[in-house]
């Protein structure tokens, strides 16, 4: 492979819905760039992109795969990103290192929810897009329907560079209105057939007018002469593409390699070169890592500045650990070619790096270079996991750690509160892939099930209680008596209460306001007068109360948002000790809590669903059945947008249900909102379940 300078490099991510044909298109791009001499197919499981055993088994992209094509003096790096929301992490890693994207639209389906989702994310990242309408030769492909769906979704941003000569089984090539050529199914550039001449002329006029909008000089020339040259059209389009105001549209067949060469030519001319520093200290950013059977750990990177050479010494600026790049490779899926140099903006990989995890910066020592980590979307699917054999728990923990290091969208945490290992991902398919890896690569049997819900407990009323702890068993005894009052920690501090039927004004001597690590707070006020309890025992009383808040009186869940006033008590000159007041404080708090209108709180999540309009009713009904409170509703480019507040307890396997209700065409996001009281019937059920659990443990 020749060396490519920054100006001769293009970095592109392939985006689109599942089954839009990204991997098949990638094979033709590799073939046109002479990286391969024979195109593989997804069905034959021999593509360079979907080369992992799991991808072959599922016949779909699961991981983002870096590839490249050497085309007419330009190296076009491209990343085949998964189309499914369950594996969206690959797209986010690609966004970080690519300067533009190809949005692949299924010629048989038009714009799908997955297409819309890809565009939304690209727009968030300000990523310029080129649209490739794929599968134009498929039986159900319909150009008019595709045009309608694209214009409905993307409006005036759609600019046709090409249109098909026939579609479906009659598709025989594409008419390109920039080059004024007809590209047939053999890749030959011919004169436009007479039957398409008028349509081509009309489309070219619209294209020239659009290109002129983005450059004042071009606009003046267009007004003067009524036309622009091919180079001038490209210049105007380039400005529109980079600003995100233009989505140029191409027609291709990835399966039969029709129109792909012209698409690569347009990428070379129009897509932006990497925005990196060619000179200065060498640095790279690792956007993905993997473990390959014959190579071990592989780290995939983009050269962010300077020139990278084999044998170069770098360091991790966070840890200071040194790293020698003994060898570097150009990457095309499973094919890796050793190279001696990579310039700023180029993609490559290295093997067996000590500091080779995703989102890691490696740079020349003392260069001060450090790049931000990739921000992945929050997971949407949450479950509990455990080994079927207790003795395998440590092995399971190690396996999950390794899987999460390769796929950062897999989140693993042990919940001390729930006493469960919680596994989170982007959907049930995502979690099933993790389970498959544990079963097949780590040879462990596991159970996956609904996790417990992290409830909270609080109070709604004022209550008092007193507790005396007295223990005498020969020798030194234990004695401590605590009188306290509890009320909700809300509003301004009130110190007037009715205690034992009398109006009482409490005078605060000392206070301790603690923010609880699980949310909410505890306000603790010492109002004891006359030395009934020494000030030195107050920390012990507070400790006892916090112990009980750590395991609430109702269901053992964390308690929060409570004010406690210790207003009286007793002590013994000899037998009063710290342990006695810990126990007295804990038990007095427990009794008062139970009498203060206790409530169980549950976590509520904001859920937003984007669904085709025909499924709106079914989705709304399902959300309501999950105790969801429907909020704002809207429409966006043919899709319904539904917002709701839904209890976490009702969201287990929601992604699976939503997919079933909408034939896989809807997507959703969820984000923690707050805690709210559970309904009375739910609280009664939870209290009964906890009582039965305690009885079983006894």
Position 458 confidence tier, pLDDT thresholds 50, 70, 90: very high
| Three state DSSP letters for 78-103 | EEECCCCHHHCHHHHHHHHHCCEEEE
What CATH fold (topology level) applies to the domain 381-449? Alpha-Beta Plaits (3.30.70)
> What rounded mean pLDDT belongs to the chain?
93
How much is the pLDDT for 43?
Answer: 86
Distance, in Å, from the CA atom of 521 to the CA atom of 545, rounded to the nearest integer, reads 12
In sequence order, which residues have a C-beta less than 8 Å from that of residue 397 and are 6 or more positions away?
421
- 472 pLDDT above the threshold of 80: no
The 3-class secondary structure across 431-495, one letter per residue, is HHHHHHHHHHCCCCCEEEECCCCCCEEECCCCEEEEEEEEECCCCCCEEEEEEEEEEECCCCCCC
For 85-111, write each residue's pLDDT tens digit.
889 999 999 999 999 999 999 999 999
In the predicted model, is pLDDT for residue 157 greater than 80?
Answer: yes
pLDDT at 517: 93
Number of Cβ atoms within 10 Å of the Cβ of 414: 11
**What number is the average pLDDT over the span 615-633?**
96
Residue 545 pLDDT class (50, 70, 90 cuts): very high
pLDDT grade, residue 631 (50/70/90)? very high
The pLDDT tens digits for 317-354 are 999 999 999 999 999 998 999 999 999 999 999 999 99
Tell me the pLDDT band of 189, cut-offs 50, 70 and 90: very high
Sheet containing strand 74-80, strands side by side: 65-71, 74-80, 9-16, 100-106, 129-134, 247-251, 158-160
Above pLDDT 70, what percent of the chain?
Answer: 99
Taking 70 as the threshold, does the pLDDT of residue 150 lie above it?
A: yes
Judged against a pLDDT cut of 80, whether residue 53 lies above it is answered with no
Name the pTM for this structure. 0.86
Using pLDDT thresholds of 50, 70 and 90, give the confidence band for residue 638: confident
User: Where residue 169 falls among pLDDT bands split at 50, 70, 90?
Assistant: confident
Determine the Cα–Cα distance for residues 598 and 695; give it in Å rounded to an integer: 21
What mean pLDDT is predicted for residues 632-653? Answer: 92
- What local confidence, expressed as pLDDT, does residue 256 receive? 93
Q: How many CB atoms lie under 10 A from the CB of residue 266?
A: 21
Cα–Cα distances (Å) from 480 to 342, 475, 537, 588, in that order, read 74, 17, 9, 11
In this predicted structure, the answer to whether residue 475 has a pLDDT above a threshold of 80 is no
22 has a pLDDT exceeding 60: yes
Let me know if the fold of 381-449 is the same as that of 601-681: yes
Give the pLDDT confidence score for residue 697 in this predicted structure.
Answer: 62
Phi-psi region of 408 (alpha: psi -120 to 50; beta: other; left: phi over 0): alpha
Query: Binning pLDDT at 50, 70 and 90, where does residue 293 land?
Result: confident
Specify the pLDDT at position 52.
78
Minimum mean pLDDT range among 38-52, 329-343, 401-415: 38-52
Interatomic CA distance for residues 668 and 654, integer angstroms: 10
Residue 544 reports pLDDT greater than 70:
yes
- Residue-wise pLDDT for 247-290, tens only, equals 999 999 999 999 999 999 999 999 999 999 998 899 999 999 99
pLDDT single digits (tens) 341-394: 999 999 999 999 998 999 999 999 999 999 999 999 989 999 999 999 999 999
Fold of the 601-681 domain: Alpha-Beta Plaits (3.30.70)
Could you please state the CATH topology (level 3) that the domain comprising 283-363 is classified under: Elongation Factor Tu (Ef-tu); domain 3 (2.40.30)
Q: Where are the domains of the chain?
A: 6-209+244-270, 283-363, 381-449, 457-597, 601-681
pLDDT at 691 (0 to 100): 85
For 457-597, CATH gives: 3.30.230.10
Q: What is the dihedral of CA 401, 403, 406, 408, to 10 degrees?
A: -70
Q: Look at residue 627 and give its three-state secondary structure.
A: coil
The residue ranges of DSSP E strands in 545-638, in sequence order, are: 558-559, 562-570, 599-612, 629-636
**How many angstroms separate the CA atoms of 27 and 39, rounded?**
6
Provide the pLDDT for residue 474: 65
- Domain formed by 6-209+244-270, architecture: 3-Layer(aba) Sandwich (3.40)
Least confident window among 131-135, 190-194, 212-216, 478-482: 212-216
pLDDT at 135 over 60: yes
Question: Is the CB of residue 163 less than 8 Å from the CB of residue 174?
Answer: yes
Angle at the Cα of 681 from the Cα atoms of 676 and 683, rounded to 5 degrees: 50
């Amino acid at each position: 492979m020749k060396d490519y300078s920054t100006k001769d490099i293009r970095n592109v991510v392939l985006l689109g819905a599942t089954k839009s044909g990204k991997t098949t298109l990638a094979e033709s791009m590799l073939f046109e760039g002479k990286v391969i001499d024979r195109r593989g197919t997804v069905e034959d499981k021999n593509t360079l992109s979907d080369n992992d055993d799991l991808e072959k088994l599922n016949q779909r992209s699961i991981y983002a795969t870096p590839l490249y094509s050497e085309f007419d003096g330009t190296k076009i790096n491209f990343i085949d990103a998964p189309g499914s929301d369950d594996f969206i992490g690959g797209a986010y890693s690609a966004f970080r290192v690519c300067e533009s994207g190809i949005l692949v639209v299924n010629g048989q389906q038009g714009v799908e929810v997955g297409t819309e989702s890809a565009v939304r994310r690209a727009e968030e990242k300000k990523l310029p897009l080129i649209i490739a309408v794929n599968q134009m030769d498929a039986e159900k492909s319909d150009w008019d329907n595709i045009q309608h769906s694209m214009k409905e979704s993307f409006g005036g941003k759609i600019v046709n560079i090409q249109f098909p000569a026939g579609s479906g089984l009659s598709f025989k090539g594409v008419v390109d209105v920039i080059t004024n050529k007809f590209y047939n199914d053999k890749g030959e550039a011919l004169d436009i057939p007479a039957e398409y001449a008028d349509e081509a002329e009309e489309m070219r006029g619209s294209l020239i007018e659009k290109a002129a909008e983005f450059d004042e000089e071009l606009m003046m020339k267009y007004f003067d002469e009524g036309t622009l040259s091919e180079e001038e059209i490209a210049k105007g389009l380039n400005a529109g593409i980079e600003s995100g105001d233009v989505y140029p549209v191409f027609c291709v067949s990835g399966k039969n390699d029709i129109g792909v060469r012209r698409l690569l030519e347009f990428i070379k001319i129009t897509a932006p070169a990497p925005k990196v520093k060619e000179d200065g200290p060498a640095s790279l950013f690792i956007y993905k890592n993997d473990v390959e059977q014959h190579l071990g750990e592989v780290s995939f990177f983009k050269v962010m500045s300077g020139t990278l050479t084999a044998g170069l010494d770098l360091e991790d600026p966070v840890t200071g650990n040194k790293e020698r790049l003994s060898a570097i490779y150009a990457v095309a899926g499973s094919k890796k070619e050793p190279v001696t140099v990579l310039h700023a903006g180029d993609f490559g990989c290295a093997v067996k790096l000590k500091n080779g995890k995703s989102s890691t910066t490696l740079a020349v020592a003392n260069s001060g270079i450090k790049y931000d980590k990739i921000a992945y979307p929050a997971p949407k699917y949450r479950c509990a996991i455990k080994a079927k054999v207790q003795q395998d728990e440590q092995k399971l923990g190690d396996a999950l750690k390794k899987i999460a290091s390769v796929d950062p969208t897999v989140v693993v945490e042990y919940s001390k509160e729930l006493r469960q290992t919680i596994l989170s991902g982007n959907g049930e398919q995502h979690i099933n892939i993790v389970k498959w890896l544990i079963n097949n690569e780590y040879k462990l049997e596991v159970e996956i099930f609904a996790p417990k819900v992290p409830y909270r407990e609080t109070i709604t009323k004022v209550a008092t209680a007193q507790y005396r702890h007295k223990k005498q068993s020969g020798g030194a005894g234990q004695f401590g008596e605590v009188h306290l009052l509890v009320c909700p920690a809300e509003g301004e501090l009130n110190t007037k209460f009715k205690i034992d039927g009398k109006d009482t004004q409490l005078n605060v001597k000392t206070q301790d306001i603690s923010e609880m690590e699980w949310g909410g707070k505890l306000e603790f006020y010492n109002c004891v007068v006359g030395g009934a309890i020494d000030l030195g025992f107050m920390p012990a009383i507070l400790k006892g109360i916090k112990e009980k808040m750590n395991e609430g009186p109702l269901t053992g869940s964390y308690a929060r948002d409570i004010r406690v006033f210790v207003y009286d008590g007793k002590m013994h000159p000899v037998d009063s000790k710290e342990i006695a007041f810990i126990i007295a404080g804990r038990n007095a708090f427990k009794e008062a809590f139970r009498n203060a209108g206790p409530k169980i709180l549950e976590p509520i999540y904001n859920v937003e669903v984007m669904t085709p309009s025909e499924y709106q009713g079914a989705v709304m009904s399902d959300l309501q059945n999950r105790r969801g409170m429907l909020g704002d509703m809207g429409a966006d480019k043919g899709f319904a947008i539904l917002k709701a507040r839904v209890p976490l307890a009702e969201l287990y396997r929601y992604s699976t249900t939503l997919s079933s209700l909408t034939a896989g065409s809807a997507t959703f996001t969820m984000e923690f909102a707050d805690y709210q009281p559970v309904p009375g019937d739910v609280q009664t059920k939870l209290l009964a379940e906890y009582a039965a659990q305690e009885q079983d443990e006894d």
